[in-house]
Amino acid sequence: MRNFLKSTRFKVLLAFLAFLVGIMIYGVTKGGYSLSGASFVNTITKPFRSLSNSVTMKVENYLDKVSNATEYYNENLRLKQQVNELTQQLTDYEALKEEVAELRKFVTIKEEHEDYILSEPCDILSYVANDPFKSFTINKGSAEGIKPYCPVVTAEGLVGITVEVSEHVSTVRTILSPDLSVAAVSSSSVADTGIIEGTILDAENGNTKLIHVDIDNRLKEGDLMITSGTSGLFPKDYPIGFVKRVNLDSNGLSACAEIEPCIDITRLTSVIVITDFSGKKEADSDEN
């Protein structure tokens, strides 16, 4: 031991410690502070205390997570359920808002046509599979006063007609179909008349066709075609669609026009059925 205290290694270690102590004293006294024994000890142990506090906090956080894991899990489930409920409420609110907006449009129609008897809004259940003319089923039927051959509409325009009706479900044939004929007239010229009757080629583009048009017609792009009401199956003056282009018919003796419906039949979510109106003809088994 005595040899170690006299060795060069001990002298170097002692000088290094003295150097560290000197740096600490300089750092503390540089700001004008005096260094007591307690301050000196605090200065020496400060890094160790900081490390200890950090370790202690981490351990406490870990133990808290472990001991309260079940509580945190249940709270997480509760919050997720609340989020799901709020999301559903928001979805219901948006659906209700759209329905109210649609009903407001029909209130205007009802005010303009007091003779219309309208069903409640009908939801689209599904489109008929493999039907290029977009026939679909609705969730209302005879129990709600709907019969075969009742006009089906939205606030914007004519959609089609009911063809098969059960107690709570009805099938709708659309104006895209060649099996539905609707007498039509131009809203700007009563002399320009024709028959709305779909074709497979027009239906592919979501359009229908106006046929049997006078070759000397004055139809032009953008003209609105409306129901003439002559058949008794559809009320008079209901919007059908807009003229896209006018051509000669294949026989060269009459004209025809491509018609873009007022509504996109492929994107419907709800419709309304006109169960009765002034001038309605009671349909037989065949349409006119």
The pLDDT of residue 83: 85
Helix (H) or strand (E) holding 69: helix 69-112
| CA dihedral sign of residues 119, 124, 130, 133 | positive
Indicate whether 8 belongs to any domain: no
Share of the chain above pLDDT 70, in %: 70
Any idea what the CATH number is for the domain that residue 267 is in?
2.40.10.350
Indicate whether 272 belongs to any domain: yes
Indicate whether 13 belongs to any domain: no
Indicate whether 156 belongs to any domain: yes
User: Would the pTM of this model clear 0.85, i.e. be above it?
Assistant: no
> Two tokens at 123?
């939801």
Q: Bigger pLDDT: 269 or 163? A: 163
Indicate whether 103 belongs to any domain: no
CA-CA distance, 227 to 162, in Å (whole number)?
17
CA-CA distance, 280 to 267, in Å (whole number)?
29
Which residue range(s) make up the domain with 227? 118-276
Residue owning tokens 């996109």: 264
Indicate whether 161 belongs to any domain: yes
Q: pLDDT tens across 144-194, in order?
A: 999 999 999 998 999 999 999 999 999 999 999 999 999 999 999 889 999
CA-CA distance, 246 to 215, in Å (whole number)?
10
Q: Bigger pLDDT: 91 or 267? A: 267
Residue type at 2 in one-letter notation = R
**CA neighbor of 149 nearest in space, from 162, 138, 136, 139:** 162
Indicate whether 154 belongs to any domain: yes
Indicate whether 137 belongs to any domain: yes
**CA neighbor of 258 nearest in space, from 218, 220, 229, 215:** 220
257 pLDDT more than 60? yes
Q: How many helices (H) and strands (E) does the chain have?
A: 5, 13
The structural domain count of the chain equals 1
The strand pairing partners of 273, in sequence order, are 152
- Confidence label for 43 from pLDDT (cuts 50, 70 and 90): low
The pLDDT of residue 250: 80
